[in-house]
Amino acid sequence: MRYYILKRILIIIPTFIGITFITYLMIRLAPGDFTSLHAGIEGELKAGSLSKEIFEQEKKLYGLDKPIIVGYSEWLYKTVKLDFGTSRKDGRTVAIHIIEVLPITLSLNILSIVIVYIISIPLGIFSAIKKDTVIDRIVSITLFLLYSLPSFWVALLLLKYLSGGDYLNLFPLGGLYSDWFDQLNVLQKAMDVIWHLILPVVTLTYGGFAFLSRYTRATMLEVINQQYIVTARAKGLSEKKVLFVHAFRNSLIPLITLMATMLPGLLGGSVVVESIFSVPGMGMLAFESILSRDIPVIMAITSISAFLTLIGIFLGDIMYAIVDPRIRLEAQQ
């Protein structure tokens, strides 16, 4: 098992370097010098109202006066020390920005993943058991209709019909806390945060029901038709034990693959959701940083997203080895 884990770690490190280098290269080669565009510096230079020395200092501050390899090496060295630099927008350190918003986004997305799996897996198993029945078809049509709805459109509908206006006023328009949050006790604060998160969580989860439940249904049907399942039934085992002990365990590997990639996927999708619902998470921070061309923050968010993706895949590999020891044995050969 140690050899298996070490082998996966040795794959993660060069992959992370490759992802971050490509991102850094794209930023350096993008049309327009982002430093000269900051706060209208380029126009001021042309007008002669800003000395070239200040412009060069700005470039030196962000390593743009050095070759790409040298600049990337210095950036990577600082990143390993969790030094992401200073935000060009407000002068605060990028690490402080990340520390403030990362727990919010992780809480939102982990909660969404848990809800998706709790609902989708039993629904997929139920559809597999009821294959080709009227109930199975109704469930399939309903889920695919939900899957076809764009998240930004659903978010706007939820705000319009459930957050005031001429319709129901059940939920807040946005944000994470109420104006009177500081006056509440601990339990009331928790309920206030949950109240604000309901609509964003609904927007993040409804689309995953169709995909994961149909995936569970397909893998369960494939496993149910295997010969060892027929043998287990012939031995007189109960249907419940056949389905949940033998069939479901062997259908876990494809579900683990989805789980390993779902968190980074939700981090990307939260850009739209957090912007619409004004949730101060990494999604909104990324959106605002792109608009203001705050490159240090963009690089930090990209690196964290890449790291979470690789960690998700790494954890997925470990779970593979736990569910099916044959994978671990094949890796040692």
CATH of the domain at 103: 1.10.3720.10
Residue 88 in domain? no
pLDDT at 326 over 70: no
Residue 90 lies inside a defined structural domain of this protein: no
72 with 102, same domain?
no
Q: In this predicted model, what pLDDT tens digit does every residue of 181-211 receive, in sequence order? A: 888 888 888 888 888 888 998 988 887 787 7
- Do 236 and 308 fall into the same domain? yes
| Tokens describing residue 158 | 């939820």
Radius of gyration of the chain (CA): 25
> What's residue 39's pLDDT?
44
pLDDT average, residue stretch 237-266? 69
Final residue of a structural domain among 51, 80, 109: 80
Q: What is the total residue count of the chain?
A: 333
| Residue 102: inside a domain | yes
Check whether 330 has a pLDDT greater than 80: no
Each residue's pLDDT tens digit, 218-242: 888 877 777 777 777 777 777 777 7
**Judgement on whether residues 27 and 153 belong to the same structural domain of the protein:** no
Task: Give the total number of structural domains in the chain.
Answer: 2
Mean of the pLDDT values across residues 273-286? 85
Q: Is residue 99 part of a domain?
A: yes
Is 70 exceeded by the pLDDT of residue 135? yes
Under the banding of pLDDT at 50, 70 and 90, the label for residue 33 is: low
Residue 226 lies in a domain: yes
Cα torsion for 145, 147, 153, 156, to the nearest 10°? Answer: 90
Q: Do 9 and 102 share a domain, yes or no? A: no
Q: Which domain holds residue 131?
A: 95-331
* Same-domain check for residues 74 and 133: no
* C-alpha dihedral, 178 to 184 to 189 to 194, nearest 10°: -50
Whether residue 308 sits in one domain with residue 183? yes
- Residues 71 and 160 both lie in one domain: no
Identify whether 22 is part of a domain.
yes
Residue 36's pLDDT is 54
Amino acid at 201: V
Q: Which residue has the higher pLDDT, 144 or 41?
A: 144
Q: What is the overall mean pLDDT for the chain?
A: 77
Cβ within 8 Å of residue 6, ≥6 positions away? none
- Please say if the pLDDT value at position 316 is more than 50: yes
Do 131 and 8 reside in the same domain of the chain? no
Greater confidence (237 vs 108) lies with 108
Checking if the pLDDT of 3 tops 60, the result is yes
Band of the pLDDT at 44, cuts 50, 70, 90? very low
- 126 shares a domain with 58: no
pLDDT band at 1 (very low <50, low <70, confident <90, very high): low
One domain, residues 38 and 127: no
Domain annotation covers residue 186: yes
CA distance 67 to 22: 15
The percentage of the chain sitting over the pLDDT mark of 90, rounded to a whole number, equals 0
Hey, what's the torsion of the CAs at 110, 114, 117, 123, to 10 degrees?
-140
Residue 147 located in a structural domain = yes
Q: Tell me if 105 sits within 8 A of 204, measured CB to CB.
A: no
Instruction: Answer whether 154's CB lies under 8 Å from 203's CB.
Output: yes
Most trustworthy range by pLDDT among 94-108, 219-233, 266-280:
94-108
E-strand ranges in 171-286 read: none
Q: Which of 7-21, 42-56, 237-251 is modeled with the greatest confidence?
A: 7-21
Specify whether 213 is located in the same domain as 264: yes
Domain boundary among 80, 105, 124: 80
In this structure, the answer to whether residues 289 and 312 fall within a common structural domain is yes
More confident residue, 73 or 259: 73
Last residue of a domain, one of 32, 54, 80: 80
pTM over 0.85: no
Confidence of residue 329 (pLDDT cuts 50, 70, 90): very low
